[in-house]
Structure 1
Amino acid sequence: MESSVPVVMSSGGFSFRAIADWAKWPSDWVMNEVTAVATDSQDRVFVFNRGDHPVAVFDPDGQPLFSWGTDLFDRPHGIWIGPGDEVYCTDDLGHAIHKFTAEGRHLMTMGVRGRPSDTGNSSIDYRTIQRSGPPFNFPTNLAVAPDGDLYVVDGYGNARVHQFSPDGTLRRSWGEPGSGPGQFKVPHGIAIDRNGVIFVADRENSRLQRFSPTGEYLNEWADVARPCEVAIDDLGRVYVAELGYRTGMWPGTSAPSVDSTGGRFSIFDTTGTLLARFGGGQRPCEPGDFFSPHDIWLDSKGNVYLSEVIRSCCGNKRPAVGDYHTLQKLERLEGTAP
């Protein structure tokens, strides 16, 4: 991608400067698309990508620091950084979650790489799931609760949330295929607020479901379009990356339309009231707009990092790497909503 001009985007008192070419990728690194992004206690940015340097780490200005993860993953999908800078990586095609130090030293694996649980599914298509099952079958993302417990959404080949102790011992699971309360069609993203309330991005049901720490259904928020991931700031506001309906549709479903809701991200207050919304425009590959939002993360300064899986969502009509953005830094402007 040629150097782009930052674009200021504003909504509901929130203003960001969108920088589409923020990450300065070394010329000899192959990077097809960024599936997930997270920052550590130093605001170093960990970029989980489908390239030859799967975990690429940058400073806040986008300069590369180091990388690791070669040959460790079947397909990178989700990343989460815990309070002690532990790095959790979700390998969906590997059916496993891996825990590392920030420098890439392996600490723990949950699941058995290459061995999916039995849900009766015949592929990564959630519509082939016949029943819910134990961990894991194409898991998607993980979040760490305030008490240190680990919650995994499991994901493309299952329809469950799994709760683990910090050492990886399974405590409980809940969920089944469907559209009712506590049921899922691709539980894709997850975040936990400071009170322990669990937000699950139930993507193909286009809703966020909220649960207690032990899995009791609380309620759902429906003003979202195929949510992929959730982030929560220090004030409890909820940021949602939404894939939208123009791309990434499953085989056999209605063809997407340019008039359909596009990729976007939204900000809600603690009650589910919409505060701000960005993207969804007619030029989704331009800075400040979004083609296929997949992950979202906030750093300590309120800056937003948003990754997109454009090549995956385009199927066989994949654009050249330089023709789109797959990771944008949305720099919060001073004087806007804190």
Structure 2
Amino acid sequence: MRRCLTFSLAVVALVGAFSVVFLPVSAQTKATATNVPVIPHEPVANFFKNAPGIYTGENMGIATSSKGTIYIFHRAYETRLFEYSPQGSFIREIGRNNYGFAFAHSVRVDAGDNIWAVDEGTDMLVKFSPEGKVLMVIGRREDPIGMLSNMPGGGVFHGRNEKYRFGRQTDVAFDQQGNIFVSDGYFDARVVKFDKNGRFLKAVGTRGNGNLQFNTPHSIATDFQGNVYVGDRGNARVQVLDNDLNWKANFPNVGNPWAVCVSGGPGPKSPGKQYLYASNSWQDSAPAAGAEFTGEVYKMELDGTIVGKFGVAGKAPGEFATVHQM
């Protein structure tokens, strides 16, 4: 499982529209859920405090450790991974100029407080220890000559479904046994399971709109029982799989889920009652009309029953543009 950053602090990584236009996907849609209670929320202004000369670009991913440490994976003219204190003060940078960094997409923290950077530009997952040492890499970059004609994150859908190669993978999650689940991605359409040592176990999915088919699986989360929740963004639904990646259910009423998250830490102790969160994001003014029916984050029971929602599209404090990760 993954930690959700406390919503009263800094809930989301917000990005610009150009980061999500490389593949044709369904236009952002209005959620079909009706009569949903509104959950009050309040923004905390100026929470993050950067050191002089330290700036963030597009904040693609955000995650917290068991100690409350916050990690932001962002991209501007380069991809960088920053660490902050629980109070939002800048602590350090991790992995700068790492071979696996080119086009940040998400960051997660596992039960051992190891930091996992998901880079869609290099088709690589990079696992760092809490001290910042590289412990594992899954995936590999394209041949440098072959990449010359594409900017990081560029290219075309291939659906190659190879064991240890990705297609601009998007996110990662973990179960109680330490197994690794990857949503893959823009150029593939599948979910991949590896064991805790990075050994391939199984992959499911093809491109389409049936069960166990995906159209930009953009985010992934697990619960304490090991169920897997996939933000099937282009198909405007959350797909639920069991731990062996068999289909269980679809939640089709919360719009296009750009980000999903299950509350509670990744173990080993039971976090108690858990909730699923899904963002129906506005594509950051592209088109502007989308602001009329997007921007909200849904809180659900794990069976898909909606508890409530919070947020609207916009750029003012308390409003959301592209909620890319929670």
TM-score, length-scaled by structure 2: 0.77
- Letter aligned with residue 262 of structure 1: T
Give the equivalent residue in structure 2 for 1:221. 251
- Letter aligned with residue 93 of structure 1: G
Per-residue Cα deviation, 1:21-69 (whole angstroms, up to 9, x for no partner): 2111223013212101111111011111115671211112111112222
Matched, 1:170 2:195: no
Matched, 1:93 2:121: yes
How far the C-alpha of 1:256 sits from its partner, in A, is: 5.2
Structure 1: unaligned runs, 5 residues or longer: 1-5, 117-121, 249-254, 297-338
Per-residue Cα deviation, 1:94-150 (whole angstroms, up to 9, x for no partner): 01111001221100100112359xxxxx99689x53545223111111001111100
Quote the Cα distance in structure 2 between the aligned partners of 1:277 and 1:50: 29
Matched, 1:82 2:120: no
Contact 2:283 2:322 in 1 (8 A): no
Quote the Cα distance in structure 1 between the aligned partners of 2:79 and 2:48: 14
Give the equivalent residue in structure 1 for 2:209. 179
Quote the Cα distance in structure 2 between the aligned partners of 1:27 and 1:83: 32
Matched, 1:55 2:85: no
| Larger fraction in strand | 1
Structure 2 SS opposite 1:179: coil
Quote the Cα distance in structure 1 between the aligned partners of 2:291 and 2:85: 38
Moved more, 45-54 or 12-21: 12-21
Cα RMSD after superposing both structures = 2.5
Matched, 1:237 2:297: no
Structure 2 SS opposite 1:35: strand
Per-residue Cα deviation, 1:301-334 (whole angstroms, up to 9, x for no partner): xxxxxxxxxxxxxxxxxxxxxxxxxxxxxxxxxx
Identity between Structure 1 and Structure 2 (%): 25
Q: Spell out the pairing of 1:69-218 with structure 2 (5 A cutoff).
A: 69-72=95-98, 73-114=101-142, 128-129=156-157, 131-134=159-162, 135-218=165-248
Structure 2 SS opposite 1:204: helix
- Letter aligned with residue 57 of structure 1: E
Quote the Cα distance in structure 2 between the aligned partners of 1:273 and 1:80: 26
Contact 1:53 1:68 in 2 (8 A): no
How far the C-alpha of 1:258 sits from its partner, in A, is: 4.6
Per-residue Cα deviation, 1:190-232 (whole angstroms, up to 9, x for no partner): 0001111100000111100000111111110012222122111
Give the equivalent residue in structure 1 for 2:306. 274
Quote the Cα distance in structure 2 between the aligned partners of 1:53 and 1:138: 15
Structure with higher RCO (Cα < 8 A, 6+ apart): 2
Structure 2 SS opposite 1:34: strand
Distance 1:272 1:141, change over 3 A: same
Count of aligned pairs between the two proteins: 274
1:22 to 47, 51, 76: 47
Quote the Cα distance in structure 2 between the aligned partners of 1:145 and 1:206: 25
Give the equivalent residue in structure 1 for 2:316. 286
Quote the Cα distance in structure 1 between the aligned partners of 2:282 and 2:248: 25
Contact 2:121 2:154 in 1 (8 A): no
Distance 1:164 1:259, change over 3 A: closer
Quote the Cα distance in structure 1 between the aligned partners of 2:189 and 2:303: 26
